Amino acid sequence: MLKVNLSDTIAAISTATGSGGIGIVRISGDEAIEIADSLFVSAKGKRLAEQKSHTIHYGNIVYDGRAIDEVLVSVMKAPNTYTREDIVEINTHGGYRAVTAVLNAVIKRGARVAEPGEFTKRAFLNGRIDLTQAEAVIDIINAKTDKSRETAVARLEGRLSAEIKQIRESILTMLAHIEAAVAYPEHDDETMTYAAVEKGTREAMANVNKLIATADTGKIYRDGIKTVILGKPNVGKSSLLNAFLEEDRAIVTDIPGTTRDIVSELINVGGIPLNIIDTAGIRETDNIIEKIGVEKSRSLAEEADLILLMFDGSREMSAEDRELIELTRDKKTIVLVNKLDLEQKLDLRGMGIEPINISVRNTMGINEIYDKIKEMFAVGDIETDDSVLISRERNKASLYKALQSLENVIETIENTMPEDFISMDLTAAYEALGEITGETLEEDIIDKIFSEFCLGK
């Protein structure tokens, strides 16, 4: 079970690192204002503790006698805050380094680094939001791309709820017919034929399936497409990665082995979130001329949702290239032939491969890669319409549970079992869908029965 300590003060950078110049350090808890006051030097000599709630103040963060950054500080007092605790938000301007320095100063003054999602957890534990909202907000926090953020926001606005409600309503109507006939055996006009129930059930199944189909896409928007760039040393993997990173306007430092020395990077290219794995490895193999490790490539290929297999168009095909083609044969793979700007010596004819010819150096063909990925993962459509995305495993599980129950209904009908057994699984489907929206059955069905049918002695 949850073990919570609701008394200490937590702080974190509340904007995703690397996205733009402004960074916010958020502090929440009993000592939030006190800690901020110990660092903030107002332009007009104000003390934050004396300010009204929900006001913004201009000044500097000064630590150890040194001004770290010029800031705007918002003061929000409990209980009308997101966490229902005192909250201070420090808006910094100096980019990644400044925001980190401000956070460090806050921590040194007694706050503790918040765990991922801990603000939301507090909002939830303090009764500010319910579980569904909490999950959607956690999605917002974790949102890796704009699209993902929209998905989460749409959830908050209840678009998913609306879709689920529609399906539930149709199930409820069928249930009400069956239940009314059961409760009033002598009333002859409430029964629904098996054919009608079957039709309604199949429609509900189709709608649930539609939602389930969005689950993978939803997950992609949340976690990104796990992508690996494979290829011999010096085919241009590292340049391609840089091209992607520039597209994302991420902070790229010029010092190798600093920000780049990580296992994976989540980037947003052309609206598609790519979670590129083994980025460190890419650099390593491109820097040091060495033989590719086939075993390593194999395990990376297995892990990935998408493989970008790169060849150097200016070189002839080698045994290693053939090996790479073989081990990526059964995976979603896009073959890229780089260095289009040089004389082409690579011959892929007769291998059943439709490569995209690119020149990373001249940024030629990069857009074609995006288009191809969109096509392969069917993510392009989602971008233009506003349909719902299922992005949480829990909701997906509820949908599968509902689907299973609806399948049971069809089986019951096909076996010509009595209608009470239909009712049992319709009820289960209705409740599984209700888990997503947090609604229950019993009063719904009774209200429905008495509003739809004229019954009673």
Is the CB of 350 or the CB of 456 nearer to another protein?
456
Task: Say which residue the tokens 């960074």 belong to.
Answer: 23
Beta-strand ranges (E) seen in 17-54 are 23-28, 40-42
Contacts of 106 (CB under 8 A, 6+ apart): 11, 25, 27, 35, 36, 39, 90
| Least separation in angstroms between CB 454 and another protein | 4
Is the CB of 275 or the CB of 423 nearer to another protein?
423
| Least separation in angstroms between CB 229 and another protein | 43
Is the CB of 187 or the CB of 332 nearer to another protein?
187
| Least separation in angstroms between CB 427 and another protein | 8
| Least separation in angstroms between CB 449 and another protein | 7
Query: What is the spatial distance between Cα 236 and Cα 245, in angstroms, rounded to a whole number?
Result: 14
Is the CB of 88 or the CB of 129 nearer to another protein?
129
∠ CA 439-442-444, nearest 5°, is 70
Task: Say which residue the tokens 């002598």 belong to.
Answer: 186
Structural contact between residues 453 and 187, judged by C-beta atoms closer than 8 angstroms: yes
Is the CB of 5 or the CB of 258 nearer to another protein?
5
- The identity of residue 406, as a single letter, is L
Is the CB of 185 or the CB of 352 nearer to another protein?
185
| Least separation in angstroms between CB 209 and another protein | 22
Distances (CA, A) of 357 to 48, 234, 296, 326: 59, 16, 26, 20
| Least separation in angstroms between CB 54 and another protein | 22
Q: Return residues touching another protein (CB under 8 A).
A: 1-4, 6, 124-131, 175, 179, 181-188, 415-421, 424, 427, 438, 441-443, 445-446, 449-450, 454-457
Nearest CA to 107 among 213, 24, 36?
36
| Least separation in angstroms between CB 397 and another protein | 15
Structural contact between residues 91 and 113, judged by C-beta atoms closer than 8 angstroms: no
Is the CB of 229 or the CB of 436 nearer to another protein?
436
Q: How many residues does the chain have?
A: 457
- The identity of residue 385, as a single letter, is D
- Residue 426 CB neighbour total at 10 angstroms: 26
Distances (CA, A) of 158 to 132, 155, 164, 394: 10, 5, 10, 17
